[in-house]
Amino acid sequence: MDKIAQDVGDIQSRLLDHRPVINAEIRYIVREFEEKRGHRESRLLENLNKMVVEANDQMLPTNLELINRQLSDVSKRLEAANHMAKRVQQRELEAQQSTQLQMNMERLKDEWADFLKEQQRLKEKVDEEHAKEVKQLSSRYCEMKKDLTKFSPL
């Protein structure tokens, strides 16, 4: 019975466990790659490295000079654009302040007109009260004068 269980275990491991087969395939591919291709990839990488170094040595200084010139041109244009933007903002601010000033002036004129109307109304009220008081006083003095003339022998 132990022998049968061992055989079933072996069959099961061969049918379901693929690790040994996969490991063998991996070793085969690695061996083929190393033997057949040799150092071809490393030589190609070295050649590419040499080409990149040469391109950097030749192209980098000229490109740096060109980039510096273009950068200075861009900087000058940016400064000019900033200057123009500041001028536009200043003009807009002045226009806004001018508009604000005009609005304030109109408001002050309206307030002044209202003030003058109020002063005129108060003046008329005071004049009316004064006229009433004068009228009352003059009528009182007239009565007093009449009373005085009644009592005086002249």
pLDDT at residue 144, as a whole number: 87
The DSSP 8-state label assigned to residue 152 in this structure reads S
User: pTM of this prediction?
Assistant: 0.35
pLDDT at residue 38, as a whole number: 63
Q: For CA atoms 134, 135, 138, 144, give the dihedral sign.
A: negative
pLDDT at residue 109, as a whole number: 93
N-terminal to C-terminal alpha carbon distance within the chain: 173
pLDDT at residue 60, as a whole number: 67
pLDDT at residue 120, as a whole number: 95
Torsion angle defined by CA atoms of residues 111, 112, 114 and 120, in that order, rounded to the nearest 10 degrees: 160
Q: How far apart are CA 90 and CA 31, in angstroms?
A: 77
Mean pLDDT of 1-9: 81
pLDDT band at 153 (very low <50, low <70, confident <90, very high): low
pLDDT at residue 111, as a whole number: 94
